[in-house]
Amino acid sequence: MVKSTINMLASEISHMPLHLVWRDSGVTQKHGFDLTVHVANADVADQPFVQMNERAPKLLDGTYDFLSGLHHEPYHYRARGDKRLVYLAQAQNDWDDRVIALPEIQSAKDLEGKRFIVTSRAPCVSGNLKHSLQLAGADLSQIEFIEVSSTPGRRCGAAVEALADGVAVAASVDPPFDLQGEKRGLHRLELPSVPVIHNATICANGDWVQQEEETTLAFLRSMIDAIYFFKTEKSVSCEILERSLTPMIGLEGFDEVEHVYDVWAGLLSPKPFPHPLAVWNVYNLDVAHDPSVNFIGPFEIWDTSYLRDIDNSGYIDDLYGSAQAAENPAINVAI
């Protein structure tokens, strides 16, 4: 029997474009449940404040049924002998962060000797940023990486304002804050795209999944439907984003709503399997260099068997019309 309400926690507010459409588009009701989504480390109306270090404990104690994110901790749990945390699906396999800069910064090399604002210290964010900067020719030892103070969930907007005020010469932000920066005279600095496990990685308690297989399958089918809806129903998706995302992160116009939509629609995978290069990169950004953890292999924490069963049934191919039409977006082989 499928749970009537499924509770999910998003690790970052940057995950919410997909999750808001997933929650509000009606796709979950088709599978017999309502979806509740809370956001960690963010002041969001009508939800409790959840600390980042509470994410895994609240998943394991049953407060939440699924967790979006938690890109490194499951390896550490497994290394300590706790094998409950598993990844079930991955909505995207490419990096969506953007670097915005002052007009005089025309290359990654120009950042040397300057200050650069980062909005997260998580390896899957700042680590991937630094990897991309290195690929673009920058000497990281010559760049001063700083953070700016902000209210939870508003770091990207604060970074744009800090750049405009001359605090630094560049910053890494989520869409649509690259567009918000352009409105203030900044520009997007093009960098090599690097595949990485990022944003909506579906994490669960494996013991719970075995007990709630019907709910798990319904949840994953609804995820597939939400991705399809997002990619094919722009008008309704943008209405949802304008209504719910705009006040949540401080968007400044419908052009920014459309920009968020366009970026996400291009990144989302019809078949939400993890790409091996994305898995390796996120693993290499943290776990691979820690001898207390790196005896755990990159794929040990992945269980895509439920997603595979759904795919083998033809569910995704039928939704898109063919296997070719359901092909996942290409990634840049930059590992």
According to the model, what pLDDT value does residue 82 have?
Answer: 98
- pLDDT tens readout for residues 198-233: 899 999 999 999 999 999 999 999 999 999 999 999
Q: Are 271 and 316 in contact (CB under 8 A)?
A: yes
Residue 290 has pLDDT above 90, yes or no: yes
Which of the pair, 196 or 271, is modelled with greater confidence? 271
Average pLDDT along the chain: 95
Q: Report d(CA 293, CA 284) in Å as an integer.
A: 12
Residue 331 has pLDDT above 80, yes or no: yes
What is the pTM (predicted TM-score) of this model? 0.95
Q: Report d(CA 141, CA 162) in Å as an integer.
A: 22
Q: Report d(CA 35, CA 238) in Å as an integer.
A: 19
Decide the pairing of beta strands 187-188 and 115-117: unpaired
b vs e for 40-64, b when ≥16 Cβ sit within 10 Å of the residue's Cβ? bbbebeeeeebeeebbbebbbeeeb
From the list 7, 18, 8, the residue with the least C-alpha distance to 199 is 18
Domains in the chain with CATH codes: 5-93+196-320 (3.40.190.10), 98-188 (3.40.190.10)
According to the model, what pLDDT value does residue 286 have?
Answer: 87
Instruction: Kindly state the DSSP code that residue 241 receives in the 8-state scheme.
Output: I
Instruction: Kindly state the DSSP code that residue 49 receives in the 8-state scheme.
Output: -
- pLDDT tens readout for residues 107-140: 999 999 999 999 887 776 778 899 899 999 999 9
* Neighbouring-strand partners of residue 172: 99
Residue 152 has pLDDT above 70, yes or no: no
